[in-house]
Amino acid sequence: MTRTSGTSGTTVRGTAPHEARVALELRELGRRYGRHWALRNATFRLPAGRVCGLVGPNGAGKTTMLEIIAGLRRPTRGEATVFGAPAGSAEARARVSFLPQEKPLFTRFSVADTLRMGRELNPGWDQALAEDFVRAGSVALDAKVGSLSGGQRTRIALAVALGKRPDLVLLDEPLAELDPLVRRQTVGALLAEVAERGITVLMSSHLVAELDTLCDYLLLVSRGGLRLAGDVDELISVHRLLSAHGDAVVDAPDGTPAGLEAHTVVQAQRERRQVSALVRPGGPVTDPWTAAAPTLEEVVLAYLEQGDADALISPNSHVPGTGTEVAA
């Protein structure tokens, strides 16, 4: 369910509905630096109109993935398409904005110069949008970029990214190093644009807690590749956090606690007298286990800690013709 499909036939920027539904598609995408694979075998679809979180441990290839989609890097293997156009092609580049983690700007430019750069280099530039966005953060247009605070610089960088009128915005750790107030303002401003124009957002973060109220879609990558992909509410609802008193549960010979045979166990751990397990339920929960709904953070951490758990790719992010498991 995307905002696009729910909007009585109106689609993003007049593109054909079937095309507009998929903002991004990766097929077996991989990138190697020397002998080290920074990213391997990433396959998924991102429906248009979503605010998607990209989480994973450091070194899992989040930045590499974003840079490939933005057209800054070539993949070693596989392919990425943005609204049907190959990443890095002129068509794809015109529809994608990317805000790197370091939020690079020309420090000797004024804010007005920075916006002019956007205007000079992008045919679809929206000067009014960019200027409004800057003014809303009470940044003067004639201020030198080098004299701005981190939060103000983020706003300018975001103004350039949004003034391009992209359909897909890629953000690499956008909220790191921002104080809570600026973070809230920045998020609010970004989400307002999402509401206004139905753009798709893909943002990486290593702070899962930060994402679960912000994003409605989630991708989890680890060194092994893609672990989770799907609607946040859905990812939570297909999991249960089971717990039991340690004395009441014996471990099976393979080390997993007994009584969970009916479920797919993502991760189980024994701490003192408490045994807990994150599972994808396959039947009723039996004594002595009690079940609770997990938080997104608990789901994500379980998949991160148990790197070999089966990947869970929800149907709307499944790429047809690839062999990943589909949930439900």
CB of 193 to other proteins, least distance (A): 8
Q: Helix 150-163 vs helix 111-121: angle between axes, to the nearest 10 degrees?
A: 20
Q: How many residues bind other proteins (CB under 8 A)?
A: 87
CB 242 within 8 A of CB 276: yes
User: Per-residue DSSP letters for 221-268?
Assistant: EETTEEEEEEEHHHHHHT-EEEEEEGGG-PBPTTSPBTT-TTSEEEEE
Beta bridge partners of 44: 26
Quick count: other Cβ atoms within 10 Å of Cβ 248?
Answer: 14
Q: Does 179 bind other proteins (CB under 8 A)?
A: no
Q: Does 97 bind other proteins (CB under 8 A)?
A: yes
Q: Which is nearer to other proteins, 128 or 255 (CB)?
A: 128
Contact pattern for other proteins over residues 255 through 294, marking x by CB under 8 A: --------------------------x-xxx----xxxxx
CB of 48 to other proteins, least distance (A): 11
CA dist 161 → 51, 135, 216, 234 (Å): 16, 15, 21, 30
Q: Which is nearer to other proteins, 117 or 176 (CB)?
A: 117
Q: Which is nearer to other proteins, 194 or 223 (CB)?
A: 194
CB 12 within 8 A of CB 48: yes
Q: Which is nearer to other proteins, 221 or 232 (CB)?
A: 232
Q: Which is nearer to other proteins, 105 or 221 (CB)?
A: 105
Q: Does 222 bind other proteins (CB under 8 A)?
A: no
CB 77 within 8 A of CB 37: no
Q: Does 87 bind other proteins (CB under 8 A)?
A: no
Q: Does 128 bind other proteins (CB under 8 A)?
A: yes
CB of 226 to other proteins, least distance (A): 20
CA distance 207 to 233: 18
Beta strands, E only, 72-114: 77-82, 85-86, 96-99
Q: Does 15 bind other proteins (CB under 8 A)?
A: no
Q: Does 124 bind other proteins (CB under 8 A)?
A: yes
Q: Does 226 bind other proteins (CB under 8 A)?
A: no
Measured in residues, the chain has a length of: 328
Out of 15, 19, 117, 248, point to the residue binding other proteins (CB under 8 A). Answer: 117
Q: Which is nearer to other proteins, 141 or 251 (CB)?
A: 141
